[in-house]
Structure 1
Amino acid sequence: MAQTSSITTLFIDIGGVLLTNGWDRAARKLAASTFSLDPIEFEERHHLTFDTYEEGKLTMDEYLNRIVFYEDRSFTRDTFKEFMFSRTEPYDEMIEMVCRLKEKYGLKIAIVNNEGRELNQYRITTFGINKFVDFFISSCFVHFRKPDADIFRIALDIAFVQPKEVLYIEDRAMFVSVAEGLGINGLLHVDYASTKEKLASHGLIL
Structure 2
Amino acid sequence: MISIPSVAGESPQNSASFPVLLHRTVGPQQSNRSGELRLAEITTLFWDIGGVILTNGWDRSSRKEAAAAFHLDWEEFQDRHDLSFPAFDSGQITLNEYLDRTLFYRSRSFTREEFVAFMFAQSKEYPETRAILDKVSRSGNYFVGAINNEPFELNEYRIEAFDLRRNFLVFFSSCYVRSRKPEETIYRIALEVTQRPAEKCLFIDDRPLNLESPRRLGMNTIQHQNADQLRSELGKFGVEV
**TM-score, normalized by length of structure 1?**
0.96
CA RMSD between the two structures:
1.2
1:69 aligns with 2:79: no
- Whether contact under 8 Å (1:135, 1:159) holds in the other structure is no
Q: How does 1:119-134 map to 2 (within 5 A)?
A: 119-134=154-169
String of CA shifts for 1:129-166, please: whole Å, max 9, x gaps: 11221011000001011111010000011222010111
Measure how far apart 1:105 and its partner are. 5.2
Aligned residues: 203
Q: What amino acid is the match of 1:176?
A: L
1:54 aligns with 2:117: no
Measure how far apart 1:205 and its partner are. 2.2
Q: Select which of 106, 113, 119 maps to 1:78.
A: 113
- SS of the residue 1:111 aligns to: strand
Q: Structure 2: how far apart are the matches of 1:99 and 1:131?
A: 8
- Whether contact under 8 Å (1:167, 1:184) holds in the other structure is yes
- SS of the residue 2:53 aligns to: coil
- Whether contact under 8 Å (1:14, 1:111) holds in the other structure is yes
Q: What amino acid is the match of 1:96?
A: A
- Whether contact under 8 Å (1:169, 1:187) holds in the other structure is yes
1:37 aligns with 2:76: no
Residue 186 (structure 2) aligns with? 151
String of CA shifts for 1:51-94, please: whole Å, max 9, x gaps: 10011000000001001111000110000000000001001121
Measure how far apart 1:98 and its partner are. 1.2
Q: How does 1:1-206 map to 2 (within 5 A)?
A: 6-104=41-139, 106-206=141-241
| Bigger Cα Rg | 2
Q: Structure 1: how far apart are the matches of 2:158 and 2:172?
A: 15
Structure 2 unaligned segments of length 5 or more: list them.
1-7, 9-39
- Whether contact under 8 Å (1:110, 1:159) holds in the other structure is no
**TM-score, normalized by length of structure 2?**
0.82
- SS of the residue 1:176 aligns to: helix
Give the 3 Å change call, closer, same or farther, for CA 105–201 of structure 1 in structure 2: farther
The structure where helix makes up a greater share of residues is 1
